[in-house]
Structure 1
Amino acid sequence: MTVLLASLLSLLLAGWSGASAAQPQPAVALGTAARFAVLAGDSVVNTGDSTVTGDLGVTPGVTVAGFPPGNVIGTVHVDDAAAVQAQSDFAIAYDDVASRTPTDTVPTDLGATTLTPGVYTSVSGTFSNTGNLTLDAQGDPDAIFIFQTVSTLLTAAASTVTLTGGAQARNVFWQVGTSATLGADSTLAGNILALASITAGANIVINGRVLARDGTVTLDADTITRPAGTLSISVPQNADLGSARAGSAGVSAPLGEVTVTDTRYGPDTAWIATVSSTTFTTGGATASETIAKSFISYSPGETTDTTGDATFAPGITGSLSSARTAFSVSDGTGENSATWNPTITVTLPASVVVGEYTATITHSVA
């Protein structure tokens, strides 16, 4: 009689389509405000040939003035439901950014400075930039930069912000306790979140957003481009399913949390995450040293965490003999994310021999 001794079955995991590394600061969720390049509480007033790429909105005010036809490449929302929801989501994001614990206190003038990811304050409670500020993400495209002010943000004429090391404008946040004033012919990267107003001088280029909770956004022949969003998935790097003995049904264990994050800001956001597996093997070539994919089952379960207003739907439990849907999202607006902890079940074939078996499970999202 052959006895199957305890066999350790383990999983090596792989992620695809933008698997993200852990970051020191959690992402800032703008919600539906992420769709907007310009958002104001009282009014948006433009002089000259300004171009806005992304939605433009105002609420509770009703004034949008001075934009030539076709110069808003997006939708204009004047005190409508979308603007109201965006201001509500923006208020939550503002409070989140303002409440982050500072990681460093730096001089008020950021010119001629290079900074790595973190949450920054100044002794004066304000920030200015009279030269070039370099933000270095050190190879992490998800790195967060936050600048907190008690009162104002001032940038000088022709000042610049340079992103390097994979830094992304979507991950830079300027939290302004009162108002921001930007000098003519300057460039700025990131999202200005101002409690009062934002005034931009002539010919400014902003790779980011200008969002004012209570006051006015004033533009003058400026170019504002909402940062492009991303769709990414993160997975555990390894998992241990445990062991099984002769005559047992097999093993079943959680894989660990899988998270999809969507910041593409589309009006009808949708994505599908799929999962596939290799066979389990001890490294040998015989059939008895292999557990075929048909013996591996994937159960996504329910979400353990979500953000956004999308409809989140788990896939159907079943065999990984071929790729299958793990989770999907439909009819969302703005940013969303979903986290789930799937269960992997491996049934033992009658002919399997003792050994340590490994496989690779791959999640992807599109």
Structure 2
Amino acid sequence: MKIKNLFPTFALAFVVLFTACSNDDETQTSPAPTVVLTNPTNSQSNVARNKVITVNFSKSMEASTINASSFTVKQGTVSVLGTVSYSGTTATFIPVTVLAAQTQYTATITTEAKDSEGKALAADMQWSFTTSSDAAGLSAVALGAAGNYAILAKTAINNVPTSNITGNLGLSPAATSYITGFSLTDFTGYATSAQITGKVYAADMVSPTSTNLTTAVENMITAYNNAAGRLFPDHVELGAGNIGGTTLSAGLYKWSSTVTIPTNVTLTGTADDVWIFQIAGDLNMSSAVNVTLQGGAKASNIFWQVAGETTIGTSSHFEGVILSMTGITFQTGATFNGRALAQTAVILDGNTVVQPQ
């Protein structure tokens, strides 16, 4: 009877001990992380040249182990420069420049990548993909209401007569008095000038002019930020900032300092092609120099995003939409086919400005 009474207690203790041991064993043998998905996939072809490369893991990883050493992309033996980040269960590799056309790349996640418990991948994960022959698909910068103006500024529009402007002028938040050199004739909500084929608007004019200008300036800033934020430049630091004498095809160009145009430049492409120039410094164009278009290229699809000042030299000719964080100056006799959109002032001196179609 005593043995019989003790058996249930013994059995219960055995079960509890076995269960505890089993749980400990399960904890100690939790699986190592694996790669469950890559994008692009292995052997995928016609991959977009501005592709962001991602990897999804089976579990959360230690973010510090997902870095430029553990996640690499190569073209042959040459490493692709890129930025590596990690969030959730996804690692991301963003190439610094657009990938080459019709080229095979190999991506690798090494066993340096570990989960939050310190467990590494069982083996390196490697896969390959091939890019397409298409262009990177650069889209035009949307100007919004800022596209209603040939010249749009925030602080002033100053002119040394006589200029010839085709298109509207807008100034906000500054008032009409900061538009000088045009001999304006005031009407209700706008003004005119013999030098302007179009209308002149300023922030102190009656509604809805002030509201429209506020929207246009906001859209101008949004357009600037959009152009500045484009990723995957086709060309970085071209000519160390000196682009004189070049013929430039469509694409995204990036410089970390000032760009100069001391001699003629040609932009060649179709009516659908887009150029975006990201300039972290000033843009300086010398006197008697021309920017010309070939092959149907359109000024409305050319965007010069300039963080510093823009100066278009005496008797020179320029093409495109200038999105300037600071001032835009057209020196004596310069001509311009495009839009001058400045977050400070636009200065004119006997210039011809025609807004693009």
- Give the TM-score normalised by the residue count of structure 1: 0.54
Three-state SS of the structure 2 residue aligned to 1:202 is coil
Aligned to 2:322: 192
Aligned to 1:92: 222
Aligned to 1:72: 196
Output aligned runs, 1:91-130, within 5 Å. 91-101=221-231, 102-105=233-236, 106-107=238-239, 108-122=241-255, 124-130=256-262
Aligned to 2:186: none
Do the aligned partners of 1:23 and 1:142 also contact (CA within 8 Å) in 2? no
CA distances 1:150-184 after superposition (whole Å, capped 9, x unpaired)? 12100000111010011100001110102111110
CA distance in 1, matches of 2:218, 2:275: 23
State whether structure 2 residue 331 is matched by structure 1 residue 201.
yes
* Ranges of 4+ aligned residues in structure 1 off by more than 3 Å: none
1:82 shift after superposition: 2.1
Output aligned runs, 1:257-276, within 5 Å. none
Selected match of 1:82 from 209, 212, 223: 212
Percentage of matched positions with identical amino acids? 36
RMSD of aligned residue pairs (Cα, Å): 1.5
- The structure in which a higher percent of residues are strand is 1
- Amino acid across the alignment from 1:74: G
Aligned to 1:183: 313
Aligned to 2:139: 26
Three-state SS of the structure 2 residue aligned to 1:70 is coil
Consecutive unaligned residues of structure 1, counting only runs of 5 or more, are 1-20, 229-366
- Amino acid across the alignment from 1:201: Q
Higher relative contact order (CA 8 A, sep 6+): 1
Do the aligned partners of 1:44 and 1:218 also contact (CA within 8 Å) in 2? yes
- The structure in which a higher percent of residues are helix is 2
CA distance in 2, matches of 1:82, 1:202: 31
CA distance in 1, matches of 2:142, 2:199: 21
CA distances 1:66-125 after superposition (whole Å, capped 9, x unpaired)? 014321211211012222111011111111000112211211111110011011123x52
Paired positions, count:
204
Aligned to 2:49: none
Output aligned runs, 1:1-366, within 5 Å. 24-62=137-175, 63-68=178-183, 69-79=193-203, 80-101=210-231, 102-105=233-236, 106-107=238-239, 108-122=241-255, 124-137=256-269, 140-213=270-343, 215-228=344-357
Aligned to 2:86: none
CA distance in 2, matches of 1:150, 1:225: 26
Rg comparison, structure with higher value: 2
- Amino acid across the alignment from 2:311: T
Three-state SS of the structure 1 residue aligned to 2:254 is strand
